[in-house]
Chains A and B, each alone.
Chain A
Amino acid sequence: MEIQKKVKYEEELDSGFVDEIKEMSRCEEIDACIQCGTCSSSCPMAVYMDYTPRKIIAMIKSGFKDEALRSFTIWLCPSCYTCQVRCPSKIKITDVMYALKRKAIEEKVYPSRFAIPVLDRQMSRLIAKYGRNSEMWLILNLYLKSRNPFGLFKMAPLGLKLMKTGRMSLKKESIKDRKQLGALLKAIKEDTR
């Protein structure tokens, strides 16, 4: 049996990670975490996470960048903000999760076929292009890009009910002034580069 080291040595950690996430989430309070676990016990998704929110904060503080960014936890956060309003150290935990998601996309270490980041990216694309989300197109894109066309068939009975009650349409929604929106997003891109 080969003995392997399970925990990282200090020099293998990224000591600058905490500052990066503090800036991205506009949350200086990360340093003030007392590891009380109120966030994890409040989280409706904690039972499904690979690391609980409390652990994620500890990992950020200690520089376990790779582990935090590659975790499923950050994508499972549904932004219900329960942890954030309860945190006694006033850490904006939901905003920290958002920052980790963005960082994971930036560094291309997110699970690329996992449905949640696929949905986020597809919806953002629809809005940047048309100014509006089209629910039906978003769902189609979700199943195709997460390579789960079978999921679409499973959705068919529900789709039928929604069609019957006039709650689903194949129309592609769009704002009138797409030119203005395009110019705005272009200016932002140039400005923040």
Chain B
Amino acid sequence: MTKWGSGNVAFIMADGYDLMGVSTELNVEKKATVEDITPFGTSFRNKMSANLMDATITQNGWYDDATGSMNEALVSTVGSSRVFAFGLEGNTAGKNCTCFQGAVQTDYQRLAAVGSIHKANCTYELNGQVDECKIVASHTSRSTAGNTDTDDVLVGSVASTVGAIHYIECSQLTLGGYTNLIIHVHHSSDAITYVDLTGVTWTLTTAPYANRIATAVNPTNKYQSIAWTWTGGGSGMSFTAMVACRLL
């Protein structure tokens, strides 16, 4: 068992917006819908799950009007479904993180008070699946075409015969003259030879960007990595993104 603290938060991202540096509190609640099934003649209540999950997210932080920061991320998206991701165990490949297929932003609160720094808070409600994932590639700035094959990241204890779900959250992209950035996921059975995982490729031209892909490749191997290439020509290119996976 390892305890983790605020310094270990890996990322807080909504639709690719990096909210990490302007957030101070995150409260994520997953809950089951249960019904009371207590019959007559019972001294203690009985409850049964209806097999229906729900979740809410409360995110508090600073009001910041910088490009790509809190206000831009939240001001025009009340009522919209966001691809949301956060990690609590460090920004390291192989660590756990949680990703939301959809999280409807239900409000955006801007708080100002005498003697206080302005605050910006919001809440989200679940719209789709919550996926408990492993970080395949940490939220890190990368440049020249390459891959993370040498990291030998384990996303599960065994390969999946039914497929996987992958997320990407890209907070920054500088094409530097290139046409686009292509990111694809590699997988491997032995952590020596890596092959492209069919169907898990993203082509990016702008950021912030977020996406979820569900695939049914049999098998989807337990070692995974990302590889990236730049199309065309240019210089000074870079991107900052994280990729996560849940084996099904």
Partners in one complex: no
